[in-house]
Structure 1
Amino acid sequence: MSVASAADLGYPEAAVIESAPSPIDVAFGVKFTTDYVFRGVTQSKGDPAIQGYAELQAFDWVYAGIWSSSVNGFATDPAAEVDFYAGLRHTWDAFTLDVGGLYYYYPGEEGPKRFQLDYWEIYAKPSYAFGNFGSITGNVYWTSDFVNTGADGTYLSAIAKVNLPLETIPDVSFYVSGELGKQWIGKTDNKYGNVNLVNYLTWNAGIGATYKAATLEFRYSDSDLSRNDCAINNGARWVCGDRYMVSLSFDTAFSKLK
């Protein structure tokens, strides 16, 4: 019997009690991209990649997750990149602070362990939202063992996002965003011959459209690394330079599924 028919029969109407939102949630998503570029360097040999993640969120403060992507072109030929991460994230009005750490794991690598790629970073990511206009985010990442080379590494960047006031299609929103960053890398240890790796600037810019849980995006990425500098840092000249990517992603959470 429906609620309407019950009311018609004169039964007392049940009170509607809204339950409090759960303090625990799980966010998850998947992404298809024509190229996986990380800090100005392709991780998929310029080929398409598929990526996905799942993140446990608790009490609007604590989170832990796993993110993975297909990769290609590495000398050690790993099966994938798998990132494990955890931290604290909280929002006060328009300001959000996110601090934590992550571990980059490359399963199935070939060759001696000392030349494999697994390493860790810690990070802080403050951000400020300007209402519906957009947001600005800062990023700082640090490690004492950049890509298992024994070198210190610091990455600092700023990301700006502007929401475009276009309402041509119902439930579709548009945005532009860009990032400017710098990667500092110290001297490698003896296993790499005490090589001075090259510090560099990297940048990217893109435009995207979102519809409910889906996002379609076009993005350009580049750096100021020369071909020779690229070979020093990455062992190949062709992995740097300008890149153009198209991606389609889907992101949601258990709390949004109804």
Structure 2
Amino acid sequence: MNNKLKQLAVALPFALLSTTVSANWSTTITAASDYTFNGVTQTDSDPAIQASLDYAFDSGIYAGAWASNVDFGDDTDFELDAYLGKYVQLTDTVSADYGIAYYTYQGNNSDGNYAEAYTKFGYASEYGQTELNFWYSWDYFGTG
């Protein structure tokens, strides 16, 4: 299966689900001129098609998946990530969001697969929302 067909196969279910209405489900589809992560291009400065599918429980627990095409100059065609977390509204203005994400790279090279734990603290005021985010990986992109 060529790269464009793989991208379509990944994005199509997200697109179809985006037309259904359910308060706990959400989905996004994004076209980007360049997919960068931590300041590094993931698509060799080429465009990317990205999609997500998420489910949020009333308890604040959420789970989801996210996909994008990638180009590292090898046989890796796309990234498929999964995440699980919990959002908690601590006060009227302070929130916390914590969880774990697992990044996978599909193709002949999966040495870059890794997990990352995160915690985000939010503060909302009449001037807007501010977040302080902490992310930690014990094996970032297979580097140990």
TM-score, normalised to structure 1, is 0.45
The whole-number CA distance in structure 2 between the counterparts of 1:105 and 1:86 is: 15
Q: CA deviation at 1:134?
A: 1.6
Residue 71 (structure 1) aligns with: 70
Aligned to 1:134: 128
What residue in structure 2 maps to residue 253 of structure 1?
none
Separation in 2, partners of 1:82, 1:48: 17
Q: Distance in 2 between matches of 1:53 and 1:96?
A: 23
Distance 2:123 2:128 in 1: 9
- Distance (Å, rounded) in 2 between the aligned partners of 1:97 and 1:31: 26
Q: Within 1, Cα distance between the matches of 2:108 and 2:99?
A: 26
Q: 2:113 aligns with which of 105, 111, 118?
A: 118
* Greater gyration radius: 1
> Gapped runs of 5+ residues in structure 2?
1-21
Which digits, 9 at most, give the CA deviation of each residue in 1:103-162, with x for residues without a partner?
00011134xx6xx2101110001111123x221111111111111121xxxxxxxxxxxx
Question: Aligned letter for 2:124?
Answer: A
Q: Which amino acid aligns with 2:131?
A: T
Aligned length: 122
Please give the alpha-carbon distance, in whole angstroms, between the structure 1 residues aligned to 2:75 and 2:114: 16
2:28 equivalent to 1:33:
no
Alpha-carbon displacement from aligned partner over 1:86-115 (angstroms, at most 9, x marks no partner)? 0111223122210000100011134xx6xx
Moved over 2 A (4+): none
Whichever residue aligns with residue 67 of structure 1, its letter is W
Letter in 1 for 2:60: W
Alignment match, 1:85:
83
Partner of 2:108: 109
Instruction: Provide the alpha-carbon RMSD of the alignment.
Output: 1.7
- 117, 138, 143: which one aligns with 1:144: 138
Query: What is the alpha-carbon distance in structure 1 between the residues aligned to residue 83 and residue 139 of structure 2?
Result: 17
CA distance in 2, matches of 1:136, 1:95: 10
In the other structure, the counterpart of 1:43 is: 42
Give the CA deviation at 1:77: 2.6
In structure 1, distance between residues paired with 2:113 and 2:61 = 25
Distance across 2 between alignment mates of 1:58 and 1:101: 16
How far apart, CA to CA, are the structure 2 residues paired with 1:117 and 1:47? 20
How many Å apart are 1:75 and its aligned residue?
Answer: 4.2
1:235 matched residue in structure 2: none
Runs of 5+ unmatched residues, structure 1: 1-21, 151-258
Separation of aligned partners in 2, 1:103 and 1:45: 22
What CA deviation, in whole Å up to 9, does each residue of 1:11-46 have, x standing for no partner?
A: xxxxxxxxxxx9x70111111110111111111111
